[in-house]
């Protein structure tokens, strides 16, 4: 009997002439936690869909539990014990926990009538498998992201999952929720369930995984025990580039205050006072619910203050809406770029230039197409957006390139203050480095920048000074040269 639960050999897959997989191999041992890593667009999602039967491989072999398939259907994959938990969890937000958990089981048994007691029994059995305490009658859309994920895991175990594939499972979780998830993953491993953990976060890979396979541009780069990997190797294998984070130099001389709050109060925070100086990168960090996001929204006119003052260039201002914020030279890159930051079906060009339309139009409102095209192409070049054509819909880009488009849009508006909430969430290591390098350059050129993040390494690598928030208040301030992982971890 094979030691591998899944063995993929020489798999190729193309989409309309684009070669997504160029003969990759992936061998996952039974009972291990195996990491599949690589930058966005490297082929991770494609191989997952090949294994789960969503895509048919053009060439290559798939072996599951010793059984060979030239191609496999989704039904065959599930029957073989493979379950995929995608980033959206594929759950029904308008249904209850009970209904989400029991629905598939009842359909699989071809039952025509709903038995409420049977539904509840199935659901209770599912959550008991991972000691998950949740209100079974709660509507799923009312639950936090972490609970939605555990519902998806519970449902997978109901179908007798032997291999659970988790696609970027920690993207929207807090540190505490990540720890809870890892406890459950380790418990599943002890019970003989194999996990394919898809991620590009090195610290998580080291903590939870046994072995690692890295793809780049649809090809295998390396497969080895995690113990043989380190940070510099991981970055190089992922991107083909060597990064020197220590080369980032932090400034100590700043200009006058470009933005200031005095005892500012709004829903989610109170009595917040700070200054942002010209050329400074200011970090604001704290746990989810600390008030950090609400503060960024209030500064951009999306949350109405009920007390205190906001000053721009030492002048007291009111910011009732985003239009006024932009007039004052304030830009916000939001936390969720997909729902708040981008017009997904629209072109890359229009997403970049939307803040510039008034400035490149004549008195009749007609847009200068030549200027529109020139500016868009220049931003694509300057920020290194990986695309062959800025007319492509922005939804065709990887997460890191989408984030660069959002940045380009606001930089095109020429702000004096740039606020970024979670600037590199869901962004791979290469794009993350590029974004951090760009922010340092913008600060050096005189822009005031606020980074709202709970990514400790990001705060340490980029920020000149950091404010700590807890319970809606600023509880501390740390200068850049004093920032350490241990110090920030203890605070957060």
- Residue-wise pLDDT for 251-278, tens only, equals 678 999 999 999 999 999 999 999 999 9
| Mean pLDDT of all residues in 84-102 | 87
Give the pLDDT confidence score for residue 309 in this predicted structure: 97
Lowest mean pLDDT among 30-34, 166-170, 361-365, 453-457: 361-365
Kindly report which listed range (22-31, 66-75, 241-250, 458-467) carries the lowest average pLDDT score: 241-250
Q: What is the pLDDT of residue 334?
A: 86
Residues 40, 398 contacting (CB under 8 angstroms):
yes
1 pLDDT band, cuts 50/70/90, is low
Looking at residue 174, its pLDDT comes to 75
User: What's the token pair of residue 234?
Assistant: 């991981």
Q: What is the pLDDT of residue 218?
A: 94
Contact 258, 417 (CB under 8 A): yes
Query: So what's the pLDDT on residue 114?
Result: 63
Q: Are residues 294 and 324 in the same domain?
A: yes
- State residue 417 phi and psi, 5-degree precision: -130, 125
In this predicted structure, the answer to whether residue 33 has a pLDDT above a threshold of 90 is: yes
How confident is the model at residue 201, as a pLDDT? 82
Closest by alpha carbon to 13, among 3, 22, 4? 22
pLDDT value at 173 more than 90: no
Q: Which of 74-78, 87-91, 431-435 has the highest mean pLDDT?
A: 74-78
Length reported for the chain? 492
Q: Which residues pair with 272 in a beta bridge?
A: 264
CATH number for the domain including 184?
3.40.50.300
Note whether 229 and 304 are same-domain residues.
Answer: no
pLDDT (tens digit per residue) in 289-343: 899 999 999 999 999 999 999 999 999 999 999 999 999 999 999 877 666 778 8
The residue from 216, 241, 266 where one domain ends is 241
Residues 338 and 354 in one domain: yes
pLDDT value at residue 249: 63
Task: With a cut of 90, say whether residue 469 has pLDDT above it.
Answer: yes
Res. 225: pLDDT tops 70: yes
How many domains does one find in the chain?
2
Clarify whether residues 335 and 218 are in a common domain.
no
Indicate whether 197 pLDDT > 80: yes
**What integer is the mean pLDDT of 144-150?**
88
Per-residue model confidence (pLDDT) at position 245: 54
Q: Are residues 211 and 291 in the same domain?
A: no
The answer on pLDDT for 222 being more than 60 is yes
What average pLDDT score do residues 127-148 get? 90
| 287/410 same-domain check | yes
**pLDDT per residue over 355-384, tens digit each?**
888 788 887 788 888 998 999 999 898 888
Question: What's residue 356's pLDDT?
Answer: 85
Q: Tell me, what's the pLDDT at 69?
A: 87
Specify the pLDDT at position 51: 95
412 pLDDT above the threshold of 80:
yes
Residue 235: how many CA atoms within 13 Å on its side-chain side?
Answer: 14
Task: Show Cβ contacts of residue 445 under 8 Å, excluding neighbours closer than 6 positions.
Answer: 279
How confident is the model over 442-467, as a mean pLDDT? 92
**Residue 66 zone, left/alpha/beta (φ > 0; ψ -120 to 50; rest):** left
* Nearest residue to 341 (alpha-carbon basis) of 404, 285, 391: 404
332 lies in the same domain as 454 = yes
Say whether both 216 and 293 belong to one domain. Answer: no
Same domain, 140 and 26: yes
What is the extent of the structural domain holding 436?
246-491
Other Cβ atoms closer than 10 A to 125: 15
Q: Do 226 and 263 fall within a single domain?
A: no
Non-local CB neighbours of 114 within 8 Å, separated by 6+ positions = 106
Co-location of 178 and 115 in the same domain:
yes
Is 150 in the same domain as 278? no
| End-of-domain residue from the set 241, 260, 293 | 241
Domain end (from 241, 260, 277): 241
pLDDT value for 277: 96
Backbone phi, psi, residue 283, to 5°: -95, 145
The mean of the pLDDT values for the chain is: 88
Q: What angle, rounded to 10 degrees, do the helices at 429-444 and 231-239 form?
A: 100
């Amino acid at each position: 009997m094979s030691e591998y639960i899944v063995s993929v050999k020489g798999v190729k897959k193309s989409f309309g002439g684009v070669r997504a997989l160029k003969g990759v191999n992936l061998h996952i041992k039974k009972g291990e936690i195996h990491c599949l890593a690589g930058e966005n667009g490297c082929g991770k999602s494609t191989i997952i869909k090949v294994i789960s039967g969503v895509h048919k491989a053009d060439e290559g072999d798939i072996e599951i539990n010793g059984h060979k398939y030239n191609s496999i259907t989704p039904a065959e994959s599930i029957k073989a014990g493979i379950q995929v938990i995608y980033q959206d969890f594929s759950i029904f937000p308008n249904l209850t926990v009970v209904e989400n958990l029991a629905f598939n089981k009842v359909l699989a048994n071809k039952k025509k009538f709903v038995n409420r007691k049977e539904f509840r029994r199935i659901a209770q059995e599912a959550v008991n498998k991972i000691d998950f305490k949740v209100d079974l009658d709660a509507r799923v859309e009312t639950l936090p992201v972490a609970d939605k994920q555990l519902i998806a895991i519970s449902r997978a175990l109901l179908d007798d999952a032997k291999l659970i594939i988790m696609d970027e499972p920690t993207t929207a979780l807090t540190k505490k929720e990540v720890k809870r998830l890892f406890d459950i993953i380790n418990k599943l491993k002890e019970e003989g369930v194999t996990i394919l953990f898809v991620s590009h976060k090195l610290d998580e890979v080291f903590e939870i995984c046994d072995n690692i396979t890295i793809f780049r541009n649809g090809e295998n780069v390396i497969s080895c025990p995690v113990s043989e990997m380190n940070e510099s190797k991981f970055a190089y294998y992922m991107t083909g580039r060597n990064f020197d984070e220590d080369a980032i130099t932090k400034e100590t001389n700043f200009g006058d205050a470009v933005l200031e709050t005095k005892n500012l109060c709004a829903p989610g925070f109170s009595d917040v006072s700070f200054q942002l100086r010209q050329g400074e990168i200011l970090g604001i960090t704290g746990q989810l619910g600390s008030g950090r996001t609400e503060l960024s929204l209030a500064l951009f006119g999306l949350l109405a203050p009920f007390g205190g003052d906001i000053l721009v260039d030492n002048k007291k201002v009111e910011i009732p809406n985003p239009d006024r914020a932009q007039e004052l030279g304030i830009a916000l890159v939001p936390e969720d770029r997909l729902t708040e930051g981008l017009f997904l079906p629209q072109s890359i060009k229009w997403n970049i230039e939307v803040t510039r339309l008034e400035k490149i139009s004549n008195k009749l409102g007609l847009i200068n197409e030549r200027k529109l095209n020139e500016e868009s192409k220049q931003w694509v070049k300057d920020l290194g957006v990986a695309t062959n054509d800025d007319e492509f819909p922005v939804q065709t880009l990887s997460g890191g390139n989408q984030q660069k488009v959002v940045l380009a849009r606001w930089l095109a508006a020429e702000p004096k203050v740039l606020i970024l909430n979670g600037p590199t969430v869901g962004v791979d290591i290469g794009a993350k480095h590029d974004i951090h390098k760009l922010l340092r350059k913008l600060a050096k050129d005189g822009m005031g920048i606020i980074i709202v993040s709970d990514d400790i390494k990001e705060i340490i690598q980029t920020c000149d000074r950091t404010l700590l928030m807890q319970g809606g208040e600023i509880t501390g301030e740390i200068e850049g040269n004093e920032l350490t992982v241990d110090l920030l971890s203890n605070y957060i």
